Amino acid sequence: MLSYKLELLSLLIVMLLIVIIVQFITLYQYKKMAFKDFNSELPNTHALHKFVRRRNKKEMSILYIDLNNFKRINDQFGHYVGDQVVYQLGNRMMTFKKSRQGFFRIGGDEFIFMTDYISKEDTVMLAEALLHHIAKPIRIENEDVTIYVSGSIGISSGILKNNDSLLFKQADHALYRSKKRPNNKVLYFDE
């Protein structure tokens, strides 16, 4: 009888451990999903807010990136191809960024690239390098098609204060203005 109770107790302990492990894995997966964009697997706005909180009161440059004429890609080739373009561009940008930089998908065809402040000239050079990476052809294997994309970037720099949205609004405003200009696809907020 004692042997039976020990076996039952051992079985209950093993089952309890399995339940705990499964819950831990599930919690880890949910936490990971909360900070990643579903389609592109890029860090999302939640990850951006976390990044900003860690950089509070530091001088940063925000590069707000928008892909030009992206709607045309979705209309001409379909949303699957558009998703693949975003996915491949995102992976390309993630390999480009350094450890203290952040790259986030804000939604659709808009992204934020954040870096510790460097000079205005170096920030513009960084933005131009990003545009060069964006402009490289993207091969969609399943569709046997090659897509060419260009982008525009608005830049703002300053000290982050909590979740202060001023720098983001400035970068967004610079992006909007850069898209209105025919040849200048990189624009600093103060220009």
Tokens of 86: 């975003």
Q: Indicate the residue type of 21.
A: I
Mean pLDDT, each 10-residue run in order, the chain (191 residues): 71 78 68 72 88 86 93 91 91 84 91 91 93 92 88 92 80 92 83 65
Residue-level pLDDT at 147: 93
Residue-level pLDDT at 191: 65
Query: In Å, how far are 17, 67, 113, 163, 167 from 64, measured between CA atoms?
Result: 46, 10, 7, 16, 10
Strands 151-159 and 186-188: parallel
Q: What is the pTM of this model?
A: 0.81
Q: Of 5, 125, 107, 115, whose CA–CA distance to 55 is shortest?
A: 115
Residue-level pLDDT at 54: 85
Beta strands in 10-109 (DSSP E): 59-67, 102-107
